[in-house]
Amino acid sequence: MKRGKFIVIEGGDGSGKTTLLKSVGEVFPLKKFRLTREPGGTPLSEIIRGVMLSDEARRASAETQFCLAWAARAHHLQNLVVPALESGVHVISDRFDSSTFAFQVHGQEAPHLEGLFREIRRIYLGRYAPDMYIFLHVSPKVGMRRTAGRVGERNHFDRRKFEFHQKVTEGYLDFFKKINPPHVIIDASKSLEEVKRNFHQALCNIIGRK
């Protein structure tokens, strides 16, 4: 059986990521896809997510969050992602290791973790590194303007100040430059219609027509 494709979607607040993920079914038969998220995706990894985003972890160091994220990722990969790919299903993950690079190495200012990041990435992901990352790029300023007044759950990372989100955005760009996995960067400051079109086109390019 042909292995499914492993696709990651990343994008900050106000990038339209949630809306776009919901729109996958408009273009492709959903039974061919498994939509999942990080941290999370499996019951154990969702528990780790709860820990990472708890108020208790508000002041947790980059080292602590880094290891929690990778622990959750290992379990998610082994128990959900790999079995789905091997059964010919495409996996779309809302966030993946690019978020650890952006949030912990950059946002939480831990450049000394970059070497470990590369090593753990090589060992943990092995043959299952994502086939494509799609990054919805929007400046935090535009993103924050779009989400102002939006009600909903906000974790302690979301509540951090502008400078943190700026570093996270730079972190994503640094990830694509330095790690350089297969990726597409979509300008998400454009209208939702246009971003959606580009997103669907990117998906078609990876997995072929429906």
**3-11, 121-129, 141-149, 152-160 -> range binding ligand TMP (CB under 6 A):** 152-160
103 near ligand TMP (CB under 6 A): yes
Among 4, 11, 38, 198, binds ligand TMP (CB under 6 A): 38
DSSP string, 45-62: HHHHHHHHHSGGGTT--H
Q: Which residue, 36 or 198, is less far from ligand TMP as judged by CB?
A: 36
Residue entry with tokens 């959900």: 80
Q: How far is the CB of 182 from ligand TMP (least distance, A)?
A: 19
65: nearest Cα among 179, 168, 136: 168
**Spatial distance between the Cα atoms of 3 and 87, rounded to a whole number of angstroms:** 7
63 near ligand TMP (CB under 6 A): no
144: nearest Cα among 121, 161, 126, 122: 161
**94-102, 111-119, 127-135, 172-180 -> range binding ligand TMP (CB under 6 A):** 94-102
Mode of pairing for the β-strands spanning 6-11 and 33-37: unpaired
Chain contacts with ligand TMP (rule: CB under 6 A): 38-39, 53, 65, 69, 95, 99-100, 103-104, 155, 157-158
